[in-house]
Amino acid sequence: MTLAHISSKNNLFSPRLSFGVILLLGLAVYSNCFNNPFVFDDNSLLGNENIQELWPIYKPFLWSGESATAGRPILSFSFALNYALGGDKPFGYHLVNLLIHILNSFFLYLIIQGTFRTPRLASSFSFVASPLAFVAALIWLVHPIHTECINYITQRSELLMGFFYLGTIYAALRSWEGENKKTWLCLSAVFCALGMATKEVMVTAPLLVFFYDYAFGGKNLRETFRERKILYLCLAATWLILLGLILSNPRSSSVGFSHKISSLDYLISQSYIIIHYLQTLFWPNVLVFDYGMAQAEVFSEHIFSFLAMTGLFLGSLGLYIYRPYLGFAPLSFFLILAPSSSFVPIVTEVGAERRVYLSSALIIGLIAGLAYAWLSSRKEKIVTRQKSYFFALALAFLVISVLSYRSFLRNNDYANKVRIWESALQAVPDNPRAYHNLGVALGDRKEFQKSQECFEKALALKPRYASCHYHLSLYSLHQGKLEEALGQKEKLRKMAPHHPKLWELYRHLGDYELKREDIDQAYHYYEKILQRHPKSVALLKKLASYALQKGKWDRAFEFYEKALLRKPEDVDTYNVLGMIRLQQGDFPKAMEFYRKATDIDPKSPDAYNNIGVAFERQGDFPGALTYYYQALRLNEESVTTYHNIIMLSVKMGKFRDALHCAQEALKLDPENTNTLRYLGAFLVGQGKIDEGIQHYMKALKINPRDVNIYKSLGSAYEKKKELDKARFFYQKAAQIQKKSSNK
């Protein structure tokens, strides 16, 4: 019995059944990844405003500054969909990444199956195309080198680009023959266009399709191009999409020739990195989350790896020239890696396992074919050969099982930020960024001593690592070590006076001083940020709000006035300034600010509500009621305005109006304790004491620390002549007040 017999028996390797197994195995291997936290720059991705809204529909396709989605609109749109459905919860993002990987594995199964049935290979492989494709797809699906793409959310770029890349190849393969050739040709071009708008590596797809056709189509170069030139021209036209996106310079600070790292330095570094990729494909015992940043290289230290890589490339090229069907996979391995791993420097990342996401599929497919060819060529008795086939299947099962287990364990590393960065350091011990990020992870766990040691090691490797000084200063603040924090701040300021982390540190220092109740020193630090952002008012309002809490009305007024100079049309600021002046007894000045607010925004309900409060304090109840109702017309869902009307209506003896407003406020917010208390007081005043007590008790369940509710209950029971209960609630109110005053 051969693989062909096994394949044909009961349609064992049919596409439908194969997809089912791929789906189930993928879900099983990655079942422990769904709740893994965001890592590295995932959080900055989620902070991108362009992915936080799906409408207007064009917004996810825009970008500003440099980010993982800059110049990659299709990728950005996929994240926007994720955000719309699941917000910032990791589960949905991991699930989508995994599903794309599973679909890619099925695409790979179809492509390898189709490849073994092409004119070049059909005579030797057509009967075993399905089982070979199935085994190769499963190995690729569970290989640990791909765990980064699923666990590291941002690397959906590789997965989604891979989906369109494989789709381009598969559709091109299907367009060779059949009734729907034109449909598949158009679909191949569509896949290619979408891939160009997903990630730059897609640039190689049109070339790879041509190389594929020549390798497996059984025709010479001229015939291959003549018969399929429309497809090639359509695919090549999609380069215009990529060109337009690249011209916007979405990654000018991290990619290109205008950096300190030369093309030769980067090419030398890629020689040993690519050798490591190949080693990891065959023996994935050391997985690297972060290879570190690109740096100048000494050629003599890497001469052997450079010669080895050069030999592999030239050998692949020669093999493709003389045996295209054998040379296609190794040559395409280098072709797909070329945009990220050749001579164009990517200074922020010298290497990354995700870069071999697609390239590894070619190598695995080649090994599957070579293994079968070797088994078939052995001149042995049929019985012995059958044993060899079963041994090969058993070996494949063992390999898939071992790789699955290794991937499952690797997922656990991503479940813990400390663990993933520790693993990165085990793989690359001289990586300052790994030490820095491990320090951040330890700091998040309040392990400040260990965190400090990591930052110091990072600075030893990279003395001008500004972010390390920021974190050392920040963690010193967390421990109350102000002098140490200021010392690190000064180092950061001298090293990088315009670094974004410096301004962030000033904000933390200001917050720290506010906690110490030193409002002047807090303003000193906030002012440095305000000088950099002349139109910002948030920090001034923060200082003003703090001053209000402390009863420092004049200081609060001062800060709000400063905010008004920066943002003269801010209605909220005018409202608060009016409130301050009213609190200080300056009714005319308060009205001046409130009137200014209504001039700027005639539909501001808060302004009219505040004017009502001012009139009420002046004893003009009818005037106050007029403005309260005006505010309510502008905002029918304002519970605060309803409360004001309730209290004023009771003062004016309009109990029916008070009851109506209390009932309306309760509809808007059934658990508002103030509304329940007002309604309870009204019912008690009407002699419906038991009903009033029911509302008080409901409010008490919601907020058992509200002193006013206990007092109201005491008063209600006193009216019922149930003095023991009245005394109990009065005592409870006194106890809570005493505890609050002690604090």
Predicted confidence (pLDDT) per residue in 217-226, tens digit? 888 888 888 9
Phi, psi of 255 (to 5 degrees): -130, 140
Predicted confidence (pLDDT) per residue in 696-724, tens digit? 899 889 998 888 988 999 999 988 888 88
Question: Is 361 a residue whose pLDDT tops 60?
Answer: yes
pLDDT at 12: 65
Phi, psi of 260 (to 5 degrees): -70, -25
- DSSP code of residue 302: G
Mean pLDDT of 539-550: 89
The mean of the pLDDT values for the chain is 88
Question: Is 3 a residue whose pLDDT tops 60?
Answer: no
CA-to-CA dists, residue 515 to 332, 512, 521, 523, 635, angstroms: 60, 5, 11, 13, 36
Query: Both tokens of residue 115?
Result: 């490849």
pLDDT at 382: 47
Contact present, 202 and 196 (Cβ < 8 Å): yes
Specify the higher pLDDT residue, 650 or 65: 650
pLDDT at 326: 93
**Euclidean distance between CA atoms 423 and 730, whole angstroms:** 61
DSSP class per residue in 698-719: HHHHH-TT-HHHHHHHHHHHHH
pLDDT at 657: 86
| The residue to which tokens 């330095």 are assigned | 265
Question: Is 9 a residue whose pLDDT tops 50?
Answer: no
Centroid of chain to Cα 678: 46
pLDDT at 354: 93
Question: Is 329 a residue whose pLDDT tops 60?
Answer: yes
Question: Is 375 a residue whose pLDDT tops 80?
Answer: no
DSSP alpha helices (H): ranges in 428-518?
Answer: 432-444, 448-461, 466-478, 482-495, 500-515
Three-state DSSP state, 255: strand
- Which residue type, as a one-letter code, is found at position 521? Q
Confidence of residue 733 (pLDDT cuts 50, 70, 90): confident
**Euclidean distance between CA atoms 477 and 488, whole angstroms:** 11
Predicted confidence (pLDDT) per residue in 393-445, tens digit? 888 899 999 999 999 999 999 999 999 999 999 999 999 999 999 999 999 99
Three-state DSSP state, 346: strand
Mean pLDDT of 253-258: 67
Query: Both tokens of residue 388?
Result: 């060899």
Say if pTM beats, i.e. exceeds, 0.85. Answer: no
pLDDT at 1: 40
pLDDT at 300: 76
Mean pLDDT of 557-586: 91
Label residues 472-489 b or e (16+ Cβ within 10 Å = b). bbbbbbeeeeeebbeebb
**Euclidean distance between CA atoms 302 and 66, whole angstroms:** 32
**Euclidean distance between CA atoms 619 and 486, whole angstroms:** 53
Confidence of residue 4 (pLDDT cuts 50, 70, 90): very low
Predicted confidence (pLDDT) per residue in 257-275, tens digit? 666 788 888 888 888 999 9
> What pairs with residue 255 in β-bridges?
346
Other Cβ atoms within 10 Å of 58 Cβ, number: 10
Contact present, 445 and 418 (Cβ < 8 Å): yes
pLDDT at 6: 43
pLDDT at 171: 95
Picking from 438, 443, 405, the residue whose alpha carbon sits closest to that of residue 419 is 438
Predicted confidence (pLDDT) per residue in 633-660, tens digit? 999 999 999 999 988 888 888 888 888 8
**Euclidean distance between CA atoms 231 and 209, whole angstroms:** 9
Centroid of chain to Cα 680: 48
- Which residue type, as a one-letter code, is found at position 269? S
- DSSP code of residue 342: S
Burial of 496 (0-12, 13-18, 19+ CB in 10 A): middle
Query: Both tokens of residue 429?
Result: 């011990």
Predicted confidence (pLDDT) per residue in 76-114, tens digit? 899 999 998 988 899 999 999 999 999 999 999 999 999
30: left (phi over 0), alpha (psi -120 to 50) or beta: alpha
Predicted confidence (pLDDT) per residue in 455-480, tens digit? 999 999 999 999 999 999 999 998 99
Mean pLDDT of 158-176: 95
Question: Is 66 a residue whose pLDDT tops 80?
Answer: no
Specify the higher pLDDT residue, 64 or 440: 440
Query: Which residues, in sequence order, are CB contacts of 388 under 8 Å at separation 6+?
Result: 375, 378, 380
